[in-house]
């Protein structure tokens, strides 16, 4: 019962470095999304995808890129890391079958990223 | 500007008593509301939800109340148990997958 798997769990970057946060789900969910969690801010939507080949921006997309080549995978790329991107990142997925299913998102365990 | 607000960052309650968590929202277009629970080093997990056509939804020890006129919802946990100690997030959507989350309330259940 893997669900949503995120790698790595922890990462330290230097300013200007690039990296990709990996996310994979095995539930055949069409909808996938990336959130960041910062103290006092809750979870904020970065990018989302309603299916393979379709992505769109969320609330805080600047500095991040995504692609969705398969149903299972939804990687998040930081092209040039900045200290403001220090955060905990969560990937989530949900089914598209009905209003309730769409909104019940299954989350990975998170990636804790520090940018120095 | 945050559309979903949880104004109490923390709540401490004795085991066996009621925990009441509150959430306010500003977007009148929200039609679906959810509560998620999060333990340290884990992702949030879905707890309970309510649609805008209802004013109450109950699931075991958890009940969510929705007051649309006040744009307010609350989560009641009765009775509170030590395993309920976690961060609780309120979330809302306009039915299009994208969830807006509150900042969370940390609940501590004292033995």
pLDDT digits (tens, 9 = 90+) for B21-69: 999 999 999 999 999 999 999 999 999 999 999 999 999 999 999 999 9
- Angle, alpha carbons A35-B80-B92 (nearest 5°): 30
Taking CB atoms and an 8 Å limit, are A109 and B41 in contact across chains? yes
Interchain contact B3–A (C-beta under 8 A)? no
Per cent of chain B over pLDDT 90 is: 94
The distance of A110 to chain B (nearest Cα, Å) reads 6
Q: How many CB pairs under 8 A join A and B?
A: 66
Instruction: Report the pLDDT value the prediction gives residue A40, as an integer from 0 to 100.
Output: 83
Instruction: Report the pLDDT value the prediction gives residue A103, as an integer from 0 to 100.
Output: 83
Please determine, for residue A2, whether its predicted confidence score (pLDDT) is greater than 90.
no
Interchain contact B94–A (C-beta under 8 A)? no
The answer to whether the beta carbons of residues A36 and A47 sit under 8 Å apart is no
Interface test with B, best of A105, A110, A111 (most B CBs within 10 A): A105
Instruction: Report the pLDDT value the prediction gives residue A66, as an integer from 0 to 100.
Output: 97
Question: Averaging pLDDT over each range in A23-32, A36-45, B89-98, which range is the top one?
Answer: A23-32
Alpha carbon of residue A38 to chain centroid: 14
Please determine, for residue A16, whether its predicted confidence score (pLDDT) is greater than 70.
yes
Mean residue pLDDT of chain B comes to 95
Q: How, if at all, do strands A19-25 and A4-7 pair?
A: antiparallel
Confidence bin at A1 (pLDDT 50/70/90): low
Per-residue pLDDT tens over the stretch A42-58: 899 999 999 999 999 99
Find chain A residues with C-beta within 8 A of B102's C-beta: 42
The answer to whether the beta carbons of residues A104 and A42 sit under 8 Å apart is no
Per cent of chain B over pLDDT 70 is: 100
Taking CB atoms and an 8 Å limit, are A103 and B45 in contact across chains? no
Find chain A residues with C-beta within 8 A of B87's C-beta: none
Per-residue pLDDT tens over the stretch A69-106: 999 999 999 999 999 999 999 999 999 887 777 789 99
Contacts of A42 (CB under 8 A, 6+ apart): B2, B4, B6, B89, B101, B102, B103, B104
Nearest chain A alpha carbon to B9: A40
Higher pLDDT residue, A52 or B96?
A: A52
């Amino acid at each position: 019962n893997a669900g949503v798997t995120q790698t790595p769990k922890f990462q330290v970057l230097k300013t200007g470095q690039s990296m990709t946060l990996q996310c994979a789900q095995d539930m055949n969910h069409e909808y996938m999304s990336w959130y960041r969690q910062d103290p006092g801010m809750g979870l904020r939507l970065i990018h989302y995808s309603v299916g393979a080949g379709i992505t769109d921006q969320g609330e805080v997309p600047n500095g991040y890129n995504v692609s969705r080549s398969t149903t299972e995978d939804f990687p998040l790329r930081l092209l040039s890391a900045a200290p403001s991107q220090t955060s905990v990142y969560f990937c989530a997925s949900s089914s598209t079958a009905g209003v309730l299913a769409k909104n019940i998102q299954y989350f990975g365990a998170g990636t804790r990223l520090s940018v120095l | 500007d945050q559309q979903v607000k949880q104004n109490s960052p923390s709540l401490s309650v004795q085991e066996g008593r009621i925990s009441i968590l509150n959430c306010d929202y500003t977007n009148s277009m929200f039609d679906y509301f959810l509560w998620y629970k999060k333990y340290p080093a884990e992702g949030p997990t879905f707890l309970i939800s309510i649609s805008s056509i209802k004013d109450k939804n109950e699931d075991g020890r958890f009940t969510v109340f929705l007051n649309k006129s006040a744009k307010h919802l609350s989560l009641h946990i009765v009775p509170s148990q030590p395993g309920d100690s976690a961060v609780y997030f309120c979330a809302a959507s306009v039915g299009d997958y994208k969830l807006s989350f509150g900042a969370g309330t940390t609940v501590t259940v004292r033995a």
